[in-house]
Chains A and B, each alone.
Chain A
Amino acid sequence: MSKDASVLSESRSWRDIPQQVRPRAMSGEGRRRLVMGVVRVMAGCGALALVGWAVWQMAAVMGENTAAMPEEAKSDRVKSLVLVTDGVLDKNWLARTLAIPADATLMGLDLDKMRRKVMEDPQVSSVSVLRSFPDTLTVRISERSPIVRMMAQSAGSAPEMMFVSRDGVAFRGTGFDPAMVASLPWVDGIKLERRGTSIAPVDGMAAVANLVSTARLEAEGLYRTWQVISLARLANDGQIEVHTREGMKVIFGTKEDYLRQIARLDLLIDSDKDPTRPIREVNLALGSQVPVTYGTAAPTLGAQAFVPVTTGSPKPMIAFPSISTPSIDPHREL
């Protein structure tokens, strides 16, 4: 080796050796320690953030401390109630429900108790109660919408009409438009169970709600004829029976798209104009094969003309072509 090559300008220490190694050169335990180290750092940061948030929350709570408030603020009475809702309940209902004494002060109100009172009405699904200084109590609620109605009777009392929402909650209903109420179909074939002072949620209402909302949106003319919706075969067969005002029974299957079934029903009714043979039953739960049962115009001579698929009869059994959903305009008039 030449003299020039063997001489460096300065001596280096072992500390100049970079200690980093690639994860590939680490053992499994080394990689695990590396990951755990990162996790520990992240957990530490998370804990710090949590402590910071807790301190901030504490500061906020301390800021709301009634003891730290001026006496004037504590003695302000509730002068107005504000109801913010997405439904039909009004301010009178709120006043009745809360029953706030006339001399109650805003700071003297127990907001949690107020919230519980509002939630006692099953028509309300969620609520938040806020103090709006200096003298206003603001209540924000979210209401349940009725899907169907039913007649319920408790022991020793008269039957009363109740509504059932999408989540199966039964409620008496306040403030609904009578015309809207009259348009709601009745529900049948359900078993009501009492839970405490209220009725236990009804099973299967989500399927009914989907059917009703699809019919209401896409085929309002058909929907108006619906009188009773029976859930008797829902649990076992996955079928919903709809009885119309004209005496027709329509069976919907819950496994197939409701829009497709309603489209078939609409097409079937439109194509059948024979007044001597009114349709008595349509079963849409069997896919593209739709058995149709006909009656006669004279009620006493009603005869069923159910023909099996194998007969190939064009009228009693109608085979629809497979309809793909994207080809249907969801907003079209059926």
Chain B
Amino acid sequence: MSSKTTFIGAVEIGTSKVTALVGEYTGREIVIIGCGECASRGVIKGSVVDYRAATDCTHTALELAERDANERVDHVYLAQSGGHLEGFYNEASVNVKAADNMIEADDIRTVCELAKAKDLPLGRMVVHHIRRPFRVDGRLVPTSPENLVGQKLEVGYWTVHGQEQRLADNIHVIRGFNLEVRELVLSSLASGHMVTTLEERQNGVLAIDIGAGTTDFVLYRNGAPHTTGVVAVGGGHFTNDLSIGLRLTEPQAEKLKLRFGRAVVQARDKNDKVWLDGNFSIGDRQFPRQAIESITSARAWELMEVVKRRLGNAFSADTCAGGVILTGGSAKLPALAECAAKVFGAPARLGEAPSWVNENLRDPGYHTALGILYYGVSAQGERAAASRRKGGFLSSVTRLFAQT
């Protein structure tokens, strides 16, 4: 085994299930060597409400993943979702200092610090600062503007922040397993990166991750995340609507949703009925198919409308050539892509994992965990590159001269 091999853990504490993945990163490629899954308890709408129950199921998933991998991980990358997450945009600009108007690293650092320096309300903490492309005298610069010539340098940050206590609860659940949380990763960024291609992100694409308790979305423009958001509505609400509308228990409603739910009403005949169980058991009864489809489609339509409203002017079919890509466990609801296409007025489809992902992990419910693992690999690579740069002989000599 190479000495550079590291074992990366990725954990998603979802409302319906907890997923833990262990990846072996050799410095060039990632191989998923362990997977653990456990039905979630003590988590509502992405937030921990019962520490002991959430701890038990998360630790079970981690144990299963480590046992499957036959390796031990010392730190993990953790998915973060929940209705408490919010975002805002802030930008700043500086005049280039150099006499020849050539942008230096100092200018870039100053404008970035200014753009990120915005006070948060009490009890809120920054989860991510997502940088949008630089602009030099109004000219869009997707990469670093260093050494370009201009008078004014501008940059904007989409800052995602969340409630301190809820973030701490998630972290402490992992720490209870004596594991370090290396990075919190926004669920929408993780799953969005998995189901979109570089070209789609460049052209503009909206990724919507519909989980059981929350719906996370990310809008990409110019190759980078432009806007993110979380709606505290998920697949569980479809089930709840059916349960109330048809007077069923939650498990019965869940069963009906999975078997007959649709995001667009297809049934035309009101007399077309379906059996709850279909096995002639006591308590089995019939329900109009059209009623089921009407309930689920109404909720699906509403959910898409809410997402569109939250995006506001940021989304338009013209600037989002990649269309809408759906992912998450609840995105498997039939005709949901059709519903999304109608609401957003853009092409929509169900997202697929990249080809390197194993067959048993290609279900949309795993996209977030896979995305976190991918994020972990990227972070690991950047960390290694940074340490190489930091530890280089030339940099040491440079630092020595700088000090003298």
Interface set of A (CB-CB < 8 Å, partner B): 1, 5-14, 16-17, 19-21, 25-27, 29-31, 33-34, 37
Contact = CB atoms under 8 A, between A and B. Distances in A.
B119 A19 contact: no
A132 B362 CA distance: 78
Interface in B82-126: 116-122, 124-126
B370 interface: no
Given A26-B177, A33-B177, A37-B178, A11 B117 contact: yes
Interface of B: 51, 55-56, 59, 63, 116-122, 124-127, 159, 161-162, 164, 167-168, 171-172, 175-181, 184
Contacts of B59: 27, 29-30
Contacts of B179: 33
A12 B124 CA distance: 8
A2 to B, nearest CB: 11
Contacts of A10: 117, 119
Given A8-B119, A9-B119, A29-B59, A16 B125 contact: yes
B254 to A, nearest CB: 29
Given A26-B176, A33-B178, A37-B178, A17 B119 contact: no
B51 A25 contact: yes
A19 B181 contact: yes
A27 B161 CA distance: 29
A30 B58 CA distance: 11
B51 A19 contact: no
A25 B172 contact: yes
Given A7-B119, A17-B168, A26-B176, 15 more contacts: A5-B122, A10-B117, A11-B116, A11-B159, A13-B125, A14-B127, A14-B167, A14-B184, A19-B172, A21-B176, A26-B177, A27-B55, A29-B59, A30-B59, A34-B178
Given A9-B119, A12-B120, A17 B167 contact: yes
Given A8-B122, A12-B126, A14-B127, A27 B177 contact: yes
Contact of B177 (A7, A8, A13, A29): A29
Contacts of B55: 25, 27
Nearest to A19: B175
Contacts of A1: 121
A69 B176 CA distance: 61
B59, B63, B127, most chain A CB atoms within 10 A: B59
B125 A14 contact: yes
A6, A20, A34, most chain B CB atoms within 10 A: A6
A20 B124 CA distance: 20
A33 B174 CA distance: 13
Contact of A8 (B121, B159, B172): B121
A21 B175 contact: yes
A21 B172 contact: yes
Given A14-B167, A25-B172, A19 B180 contact: yes
A19 B74 CA distance: 14
Contacts of A37: 178
B388 to A, nearest CB: 23
Contact of B126 (A6, A13, A20, A27): A13
A12 B184 CA distance: 14
A27 to B, nearest CB: 5
A198 to B, nearest CB: 57
A21 B180 CA distance: 11
Contacts of B172: 19, 21, 25
Nearest to B59: A27
A17 B177 contact: no
A20 B175 contact: yes
18 contacts: A1-B121, A7-B122, A9-B119, A11-B120, A12-B126, A14-B162, A14-B171, A17-B125, A20-B175, A21-B175, A25-B176, A27-B55, A27-B56, A27-B59, A27-B176, A29-B63, A30-B176, A34-B178
Contact of A12 (B56, B125, B159, B178): B125
A26 B119 CA distance: 34
Nearest to A18: B168
Nearest to B51: A25
A26 B181 contact: no
B375 to A, nearest CB: 15
